[in-house]
A and B are shown apart, each in its own frame.
Chain A
Amino acid sequence: MSTSVASGVRTVRNALPRLAGVAVITALGDVHSPGRIAARAVRLTVSVLLVHWLWSALYRGTAQSAGLTRTQALAFAILSVLITQINETDRWIARDTVYQHVGSGTIIYWFLRPMAARRYCLVRAVGDRCYGLARAAVVYVVCLAVGLLTAPASSSAAAAFAVTALLGQVVVYQLGLLVDQMCFWMVKNGAVVAILEFVQALLSGALAPLWFFPQWFQLFSSLMPFQATLNVPLSFYTGRMPVQELPEQIALQLAWIAVLTTLTRLLWRNASDKIQSQGG
């Protein structure tokens, strides 16, 4: 038993450098293009400031709306900008999206490498999100320091935010993967990706906190996986959702993760049968 555990640990230790090498590809690409890092920093800073000014202006005539105070709405809006940008990695410019590979036929190499395509996607996604999280953390600290943002409502709210935000990222990854996998059947998925982005922005609360929407819309969004990605963690952060609801929300997120993971695994299995390259 101990021998097999030791062997397992050895296998993981040997694989770690290779996994890390794959995970840092996007970050390394940016490091070699300082202009891109600077441009991203400018865009992020301006976005945060604009969102701050917009919501401050909207709250000028009122102290509270839909149960959200000005401070809560500002925290919600700014954090939604920071969390949304975690996924905004520029894989297109590196010509390493499923869409590009399927279009050019190079997707076949994903299935010929020593690392399985499914694992490659996962490791890249983990690396990309760690990189995005680092960017978000820097801006978050600056926003806290200059008073644009308030700290979480309580330490338990902070913990609830951290857990649900992490699970939310898994949901976002699975949804994105599902859309990517459509390329194996549709060849082109640009429109589906765009629709997913907009539906996600709308139903997750990225456009505006879901608390502002009518009751029927909130009910509808609660039946979808999107609100688990942003609205739930941010509602915990701002104290708009009581921490007592944490077990229920985690259970919902886990249920969505289970459904989506099952679906994407099934599609990976079928995808390899669909691949044609350079004329089949």
Chain B
Amino acid sequence: MTMHPALARLRVTARIVALTFRASLDYRGEFLVNVLFGAVYQTSVIVFASVVLGRFPGMGGWPAHAVLMIVALRMLSHALFWLFFGRIATLAEFVQEGNLDALLLRPLPVYRQVQLATFPSNAFGDLIVGVSLFVAAVLSFDVPWTPARILYTAAALAGGTLLEAAVYTTLSCLHFRFPAAVQWSYWTAELMSTFGNYPLKVLPRAVGWAFTFVLPLAFIAYLPTGVLTGNTAGLGVPAAVAAASPAVGVVAYLVSRLLWNRALRGYTGING
């Protein structure tokens, strides 16, 4: 009896994940520090956000529970992004070391192989802090949790995860030709962790516009939280567009994958 191809691929994926997990445990110190790193990274974002919120109340007229939800949504979707898609941000390492050429020869999609190459142990730390903050945000949320709101929150998390994956997948297209472009990915990560945690209406209109249509971090947490809390005035986009944030994440990810496949076809390894 032959196994269904999709099931077979899933089984191979699970086996590779198990192998990379065991491999990462070989460097036990690095593994534990990695988990700690995820937690420290997320905690530093919380500390910064809480310091700013404590010192400068009245974030664009948004109540504290709404701002906390922005931070929680962004951090949890970032943790999920890192768990499922994070390796794409460092595609440059594969290109520079010539390892991408080997991936081209194997019977699994290259994108998936990049994701499976190492086990994302620091995602554990990200998730611990992200989930904790999300629970705190949900408990302090001053709006009734109707089934529709629960569903929308889940969709917003999935959309935010995919949108972040779309941003890094698009940037990684540059890595095929210019490994030094990885600096743009690092810089983008810095921008997202700094500016993804506020109601963007506190910033000048042009900056809010840039964070909506150029680097679309508004769709990850700010706009969905606006919809969840009913703060849809002054978002910089019509309420219907804000409500469609999860769909924007899905579409952006699909487009980024098309771009990535195209960039991969144009890739030339060191042997020509």
Contacts and interface: CB of A to CB of B under 8 A. Distances in A.
Interface of A: 33, 35-36, 39-40, 43, 47, 50, 53-54, 57-62, 65-66, 90, 92-93, 95, 186-192, 194-195, 198-199, 201-202, 207-208, 212-213
Contacts of A194: 37, 41, 122
B191 A192 contact: no
Interface in B43-64: 44, 47-48, 51-52, 55-56, 58
Contact of B202 (A57, A198, A213): A57
Nearest to A92: B182
Contacts of B20: none
B48 A207 contact: yes
Interface of B: 27, 29-30, 33-34, 36-37, 40-41, 44, 47-48, 51-52, 55-56, 58, 96, 122, 178-184, 187, 191, 194-195, 202-204, 207
B30 A95 contact: no
Given A33-B180, A53-B203, A58-B202, 13 more contacts: A36-B183, A39-B181, A39-B183, A65-B56, A66-B55, A93-B182, A95-B96, A191-B36, A194-B41, A194-B122, A195-B36, A195-B37, A198-B37
Contacts of B180: 33, 36, 90, 93
A93 B52 contact: no
| Interface secondary structure of A, over-half rule | helix
Given A198-B44, A199-B40, A207-B44, A186 B56 contact: no
Contacts of A47: 187
A202 B47 contact: yes
Contacts of B34: 190-191
A36 B40 CA distance: 30
Given A53-B207, A208-B48, A39 B56 contact: no
Nearest to A30: B180
